[in-house]
Chains A and B, each alone.
Chain A
Amino acid sequence: MNRFIRSFRRELQQIVIHPRYLLLLTAGLVFSFIFFLTFMREGQPQKLPIAIVDQDGSYLSRRLCHEIDATQGVRVVAVYQNHNQARDAMQRQRIFAFLEIPKGTYNDVLGFKRPHISLYANNAYLLGGSFSYKSLATMTKLASGAVQREILRKKGYSEKAISGLIQPVELDTHAISNPTTNYQPYILTTMLPGIIGVMVLLLTIFQLHHWLQNPYERLHVSGGDLAASIFGKLMPYTLWFSLMGIVGNLVFFGFCHYTMLGSFWMLSLTMLLFIFAVQGMALFLTGLLPEMHMSISIGAIYGMLSFTMSGFSYPAISMPGGMQAFGYIFPLRHYYLAYVDIALYGSGFRQYMPHIIALILFLVPGIIGIRLIRSRLKREGVLDRVEMEALKQQAEQGVLESEIV
């Protein structure tokens, strides 16, 4: 324990002497916090640009145009004369959707001829396309309903009977734990821990390699104890980045009021375990790949994949079986699953215990990594030298003591 504390203190000294590295990374982290918090502050894209192709030019088409423009979801940026113009605007990415009202629509409505109007949405931009589609589909449905209502009124139905006829079934949709279907909590709560994870992963690999290039001094500080030396070296970063993660969560759940049904402290503990798990993987990669550029490149690939494999954007259940299994070697996946259980559902400990255990299990590759590093150092004769020095020192101390006696 003493050896560990000495190594820990040594690393703290190092950080205080050369703070630029850590400051740079912290600044990067703060930047991405601010970026994501300000970037999607609308929560859900609103007032998306769309167009109307109005070939009818009637009272009905103009009114529809105004009413669509008045909705929260979309705004009409242009009224075109023909289909090709609108299609061109879509390919130029000026609009996400357009509504085409052909000539004679109003006449057909009056004559009960059931006219067709067409709605085109651009699915190549998933968010813009589907949100503008949703708004336009609702508006066209309402327009159809308005016509129905008018006809039924003229037929002499009562208002109550009319609303029963126009809307026989209503579906109340409840989005659990995200009632406003806000995009921000969904992206941020996993994305930012992911970013911290990638940072810690690469930082740890770098630190370990620098340590390995000149291990004597550090090993000496911790009296030749490799594990204590490594843990002591990594611990300041573990604590710092866990703190960053917890502060981030504090901003999300305290300041931004994202849903948190469970215990915040449990989530903080999960964050701490997540950072440990990432460091375990970093140790493993460093032990496995002695060449620095190799382990950095592999670490970079692994880190970037964690966003995909965590399954928060594209659910893992829709991935092929092999990929689902592959996902479990990413700590971010377990963090995400635990977050959902804790924050969105407020489940009991028994529910998310497997994820917590999985995160703890990531210490196993860490231990394997230390073993690999140890055998490497042994091969290179580093450990023997340090041990010899320690023995020599002890012997000298012994001589000194005997002299005093």
Chain B
Amino acid sequence: MIRLYNIVKDIWDVAALELDRIFHDGGVVLLFCVATLIYPWIFSYAYQNECIRNLPMAVVDDSHSVESRRFASKLDATPEVNICYKCNTIEEAHRLMQQRAINAIVYFPKDYGTRVVTGETARACLFCDMSSFLYYRSVFTAANAVLVDEMQFIEADRYSRAGLSGESRAQLVQPIQVDDVKLYLPNGGFTSFLVPALLVLVLHQTLFLGMCVLYGTTREKRLIVRSVPARLRHQGILYRVTVGRALAYLIIYLPMTAINLLLLPRIFNLPHIGNPMSIVVFVIPFLLAAIFFSMTICSFVRNRDAGIVVCIFFSVILLFLSGAIWPQSNMPRFWLYFSYLFPSTFGIQGFIRINSMAATLSQVKFEYLMLWLQAVVYFFTASGALHYLLHLRSGRHVSERM
């Protein structure tokens, strides 16, 4: 009983010491508490419009026909694009494109109207700005919707002229009807798709970065040994230091996680159809894995400056590795297995599925178990790293203990 009390007390002492260390460093507090909250806010605010609306485009109409005008006005009526210019030549429109005044051009050749009337296949051309894929996506969606509508309209007209009407015409126009359902994010919004992934990534990266700053400074000031209470420096009970420190980070990060993953999706009306309990249960191994992972890496980062710089740009790589953007099924094998090293991969995958797709815990079993596995493995590596730093490093640190 006393033994247990001792263990708990030791762990708590270390946690208190670590918390003290954290709150004495303004930069670390900024990263842990302010950055964690400010990033999601900025992302949600910047991306709040979800989709692109009213992209300016130009129409070049060489056919001057009723049919081409009908197509253009239908295009203008879509929410995605807005016809701002009517140009006489394609060169003129291209110049506008170069001046970045428009993002797309639709061109009707001379024979467009005649071909529609004579029952041939009429051709129109669409030119699209590729400086951002979302432009392409919006223009393509709008043009495709108009195309389908226009095709059905013309087909119906042609069948009427062939003497078919009513149900028999409908049978020919659309012998098989396709209902499409876009699941989970019916509007296909960019925000709802990306921000949930970023919410998790921000937690992972601020934790790592803050620890990098903290541990780097400790190392720089040669305080590594002194940062561990003397009575806990023995080999057998060193794990209490690891657990105690992890506890300190958990104390800070549990409320942060609750705000980020449970509250923010509701405030910003991001997808939140998941069971909050599942998220809580899922997030615990994620936080543990992230904490022990960061501890391990930070113990080995010799050069704090380089460590921080690498960590920052690695955020982008981690986002891609997580499979939230580029599908996991299409990653090269090597990078897929490489991504398994990072808690963010499973954290992001699991959170998107629980939060945005209402998956149950059993449906994210693989991610959940992998996170526990990571937590355990990184716990041992973190303890090992601490042991190495305290006992195996050369004289300089031994003398520091004096």
Which A residues lie at the B interface, using CB under 8 A?
20-21, 24-25, 28, 32, 35-36, 38-42, 45-49, 88, 90-93, 96, 105, 109, 112, 114-130, 133, 137, 140-141, 143-144, 147-148, 151-152, 160-161, 163-178, 181, 183, 186, 191, 194-195, 198-199, 202-203, 206, 291-294, 296-298, 300-301, 303-305, 307-309, 311-315, 317-320, 323, 340-341, 344-347, 351
- Residue among B122, B190, B310 making CB contact with A169, cutoff 8 Å: B122
A127 and B325 contacting across the interface, CB-CB below 8 Å: yes
- Residue among B39, B124, B325, B327 making CB contact with A172, cutoff 8 Å: B124
Q: Does B181 contact A (CB under 8 A)?
A: yes
Within 8 Å CB of B127, what residues of A?
Answer: 174, 176
Q: CB-defined interface of B5-39 with A at 8 Å, one 1/0 digit per residue?
A: 00000000000000000000111101100010011
Within 8 Å CB of B98, what residues of A?
Answer: 341, 345-347, 351
- Residue among B177, B193, B317 making CB contact with A125, cutoff 8 Å: B193
B97 and A345 contacting across the interface, CB-CB below 8 Å: yes
Query: How many whole Å from B191's CB to the nearest CB in chain A?
Result: 8
Please, could you name 10 A-B residue pairs with CB atoms under 8 Å apart, sorted by A?
A39-B332, A92-B364, A119-B178, A168-B155, A171-B144, A186-B130, A198-B309, A203-B309, A305-B42, A318-B53
B312 and A198 contacting across the interface, CB-CB below 8 Å: yes
Query: How many whole Å from B198's CB to the nearest CB in chain A?
Result: 9
Query: How many whole Å from B79's CB to the nearest CB in chain A?
Result: 12
Within 8 Å CB of A42, what residues of B?
Answer: 330
In this complex, which of A105, A147, A160, A169 has the most chain B Cβ atoms within 10 angstroms of its Cβ? A169
Within 8 A of A (CB), among B180-201: 180-186, 188, 190, 192-194
Query: How many whole Å from A328's CB to the nearest CB in chain B?
Result: 14
Ranked 10 nearest A-B pairs via Cβ:
A293-B27, A128-B327, A168-B154, A123-B185, A178-B130, A147-B175, A91-B359, A340-B131, A124-B184, A297-B27
Query: How many whole Å from A397's CB to the nearest CB in chain B?
Result: 38
B313 and A195 contacting across the interface, CB-CB below 8 Å: yes
Given A124-B357, A176-B97, A297-B30, the answer on whether A314 and B134 have CB atoms closer than 8 Å is yes
A314 and B46 contacting across the interface, CB-CB below 8 Å: yes
A93 and B328 contacting across the interface, CB-CB below 8 Å: yes
B120 and A164 contacting across the interface, CB-CB below 8 Å: yes
B137 and A40 contacting across the interface, CB-CB below 8 Å: no
B176 and A117 contacting across the interface, CB-CB below 8 Å: yes
Number of A-B contacts (CB under 8 A): 338
Which B residues lie at the A interface, using CB under 8 A?
25-28, 30-31, 35, 38-39, 42-43, 45-49, 51-53, 71, 97-100, 116, 119-137, 140, 143-144, 147, 150-151, 154-155, 158-159, 168, 170-172, 174-186, 188, 190, 192-194, 209, 213, 217, 271, 303, 305-306, 308-310, 312-313, 315-317, 320, 323-332, 335, 349, 352-353, 356-360, 363-364
A186 and B42 contacting across the interface, CB-CB below 8 Å: no
A35 and B46 contacting across the interface, CB-CB below 8 Å: no
Query: How many whole Å from A351's CB to the nearest CB in chain B?
Result: 7
CA distance A105 to B171 in the complex (A): 14
Within 8 Å CB of B358, what residues of A?
Answer: 91
CA distance A170 to B71 in the complex (A): 12
Within 8 Å CB of B309, what residues of A?
Answer: 25, 28, 198-199, 202-203, 206
Given A133-B182, A172-B125, A294-B26, the answer on whether A202 and B136 have CB atoms closer than 8 Å is no
Query: How many whole Å from A149's CB to the nearest CB in chain B?
Result: 10
B179 and A117 contacting across the interface, CB-CB below 8 Å: yes
Task: Known pairs A133-B180, A203-B305, A296-B27; list 6 more (Cβ under 8 Å).
Answer: A25-B306, A48-B327, A109-B176, A144-B178, A168-B121, A181-B133
CA distance A318 to B14 in the complex (A): 48
- Residue among B52, B122, B352 making CB contact with A318, cutoff 8 Å: B52
Within 8 Å CB of A122, what residues of B?
Answer: 183-184, 357
- Residue among A123, A170, A294 making CB contact with B121, cutoff 8 Å: A170
* A340, closest chain B residue (CB): B131
B43 and A308 contacting across the interface, CB-CB below 8 Å: yes
* A183, closest chain B residue (CB): B133
- Residue among A35, A88, A128, A165 making CB contact with B363, cutoff 8 Å: A88
A39 and B151 contacting across the interface, CB-CB below 8 Å: no
- Residue among B97, B135, B175 making CB contact with A114, cutoff 8 Å: B175
CA distance A112 to B42 in the complex (A): 54
Given A92-B359, A318-B52, the answer on whether A167 and B151 have CB atoms closer than 8 Å is yes
Within 8 Å CB of B325, what residues of A?
Answer: 126-127
B180 and A137 contacting across the interface, CB-CB below 8 Å: yes
B43 and A118 contacting across the interface, CB-CB below 8 Å: no
Query: How many whole Å from B145's CB to the nearest CB in chain A?
Result: 11
CA distance A317 to B54 in the complex (A): 10
CA distance A47 to B331 in the complex (A): 12
CA distance A160 to B185 in the complex (A): 42
A173 and B143 contacting across the interface, CB-CB below 8 Å: yes
* A38, closest chain B residue (CB): B332
A28 and B313 contacting across the interface, CB-CB below 8 Å: yes
Query: How many whole Å from A349's CB to the nearest CB in chain B?
Result: 12
- Residue among B140, B316, B331 making CB contact with A191, cutoff 8 Å: B316
Query: How many whole Å from B213's CB to the nearest CB in chain A?
Result: 6
Query: How many whole Å from B344's CB to the nearest CB in chain A?
Result: 14
CA distance A273 to B360 in the complex (A): 51
Within 8 Å CB of A35, what residues of B?
Answer: 317, 320, 335
Within 8 Å CB of A346, what residues of B?
Answer: 98
* B133, closest chain A residue (CB): A186
CA distance A345 to B130 in the complex (A): 10
B316 and A49 contacting across the interface, CB-CB below 8 Å: no
In this complex, which of B97, B177, B305, B313 has the most chain A Cβ atoms within 10 angstroms of its Cβ? B313
Given A40-B326, A140-B176, A341-B100, the answer on whether A126 and B183 have CB atoms closer than 8 Å is no
CA distance A202 to B132 in the complex (A): 28
Given A144-B175, A294-B30, A300-B31, the answer on whether A123 and B188 have CB atoms closer than 8 Å is yes
B349 and A93 contacting across the interface, CB-CB below 8 Å: yes
CA distance A125 to B348 in the complex (A): 12
CA distance A49 to B331 in the complex (A): 13
A167 and B42 contacting across the interface, CB-CB below 8 Å: no
Within 8 Å CB of A91, what residues of B?
Answer: 353, 357-360, 363
B124 and A20 contacting across the interface, CB-CB below 8 Å: no
Query: How many whole Å from B36's CB to the nearest CB in chain A?
Result: 11
A161 and B119 contacting across the interface, CB-CB below 8 Å: yes
B316 and A195 contacting across the interface, CB-CB below 8 Å: yes
Within 8 Å CB of B359, what residues of A?
Answer: 91-92
Query: How many whole Å from B143's CB to the nearest CB in chain A?
Result: 6
A92 and B363 contacting across the interface, CB-CB below 8 Å: yes
